[in-house]
Structure 1
Amino acid sequence: MTDARTDGQLAADLAHEAGDILLTIRADFPQDGDPKDLKSAGDLGSHDFLMAALAQARPQDAVLSEEGADDKARLSAERVWIVDPLDGTREFSERPRDDWAVHVALWEKGKLTEGAVAMPARGVVHSTVAPPPLPDPHDGPLRLAVSRSRPPVWLPTLVGALTAELVPMGSAGVKAMSVLDGTSDAYVHAGGQYEWDSAAPVAVAAAAGLHTSRVDGSPLVYNQENVLLPDLIVCRPELAEQVLAAVADLGL
């Protein structure tokens, strides 16, 4: 290592710094510009920064980024950074929406060990360094974080089974962190994701004491040859049994 910071602090710092870059790109982009170009500028700007910063701070480590080529040498590496330079490109391009994020996670020898999720437009970074305490249980219906733009076809059935109310929002990281900050009680996804979509949110959520798993209750496994990791559950620990049972009945 060539950087004295701990891995956890490095993850938090890089997520924050990438977020600052994204805020600048967003602010400087012409108001009448094509949203597709803003998405591309954000993806590339954040990715380039993270790759350069990790190469300098941890030159021996492998990196898996949504925006980069997948170097299969990572499969034999002991340490792999899994990053999503811009989670929620659609929301990023829809100014002034704030439900987008930056993900930086570290996988070591078979498990996630550190992670950070920055929500730059909100001025918030959640990380494994000092995860916040879980808020008190919500006194009311279970609140389910869901996609604001692509709700799954099975959602009404799950809502009925859990007697839940919906909390629509953007990126996967924001949804997962909404359980951590008390905006929602559970996030269930079964529509297709990749390792970079969930690695950092899962690392932070688990460090804070939340339940994290596949929809069948099995562990989430990272740094696989096939980076598709299509489903997950993040929820308050006391709700895990109830949520898993309801999801099992869906046959996902």
Structure 2
Amino acid sequence: MTIRDDHDLARDLAAEAGERLLALREREGFGDPSLLRKEGDAASHRFLMEALARLRPSDSVLSEEATQSERLDPRRLTADRVWIVDPLDGTREFAEEGRADWAVHVALWERGPDGRGRLTAGAVALPAQGRTLFTGEPPVPPRLQEGARPRIAVSRTRPPEFVQRLARLAGADLVPIGSAGAKISAVLTGEVEAYVHAGGQYEWDSAAPVAVALASGAHASRIDGSTLTYNQGDPSLPDILISLPELAPTLLAGIRDLHR
């Protein structure tokens, strides 16, 4: 088994799950959004769990759709390899006709010789956009043009006051985008320059896009600049900052000012 194998597997699983979700969308239509969301989550979770059990039987898995007892399984915390997956990131957008800002996340966390773990592979499929970003061939984010106003991705329904204040300090514009994976992918493809979120998430919301962001050379951290850590007993993550590396110092300084 090579590192490259894991990159490719993450890509292939995320892309295949995405194709299945597109087919479900086409088959079921949008008449019952609640049912479509439930069916999409369940079908994608089932596919990913069965595929990983077959292809990586010795590895552990942490999935958004796992039961509470599965999430709390202590074997995950002592495992050397843990796949962290979000079978359908952005269920609301998935169930809305015409929206493409939803994703499938597949990431691999591995424990190193020193006992510390890190994300080593990951993929974010954006099925309705026809692309999959992955660590084997990470995108190269374009640099911020001199004099241009940076753009920060935010929730399309309720931009938080904290990020609105940060945007004013940084001279940035806010761009509403759906799922977390779509927001982080937008940083990596040049649609925005940053994503800041302080309202709480879980590991599966960001593991795969953070893996791709780090492989791309983007900045990825907590909003205080500290390292994002995964495969924790409590899978919640309070906050996250993803940005072009040249913009990170400005945003971190602005966040510190807001917290004074």
Same fold (TM over 0.5): yes
1:102-141 deviations in Å (ceiling 9; x for gaps): 0000000010000000000001100000012221323510
Runs of 4+ in 1 over 4 A off after TM superposition: none
| Equivalent residue for 1:73, pick from 68, 72, 75 | 75
Q: Does 1:93 align with 2:100?
A: no
Equivalent residue number for residue 63 of structure 1 = 61
Distance 2:110 2:204 in 1: 15
Secondary structure of 1:6's counterpart equals: helix
Q: Does 1:250 align with 2:252?
A: no
Secondary structure of 2:237's counterpart equals: coil
Unaligned runs of 5+ in 1: none
| Equivalent residue for 1:234, pick from 234, 242, 257 | 242
Distance 1:115 1:250 in 2: 33
Equivalent residue number for residue 178 of structure 2 = 170
Secondary structure of 2:231's counterpart equals: coil
Distance 1:233 1:96 in 2: 28
CA RMSD in angstroms, aligned pairs only: 1.6
| Equivalent residue for 1:124, pick from 127, 131, 142 | 131
Equivalent residue number for residue 28 of structure 1 = 27
Return the offset for 1:5.
7.0
Return the offset for 1:249.
1.9
* Percent identity of equivalent pairs: 57
**CA distance 1:4–1:197, shift in 2 (3 Å):** closer
**TM-score normalised by the chain length of structure 2:** 0.93
**CA distance 1:180–1:229, shift in 2 (3 Å):** same
**TM-score normalised by the chain length of structure 1:** 0.96
| Equivalent residue for 2:158, pick from 146, 150, 164 | 150
Equivalent residue number for residue 44 of structure 1 = 42
Distance 1:129 1:5 in 2: 7
Secondary structure of 1:15's counterpart equals: helix
Unaligned runs of 5+ in 2: 112-116
Equivalent residue number for residue 137 of structure 1 = 144
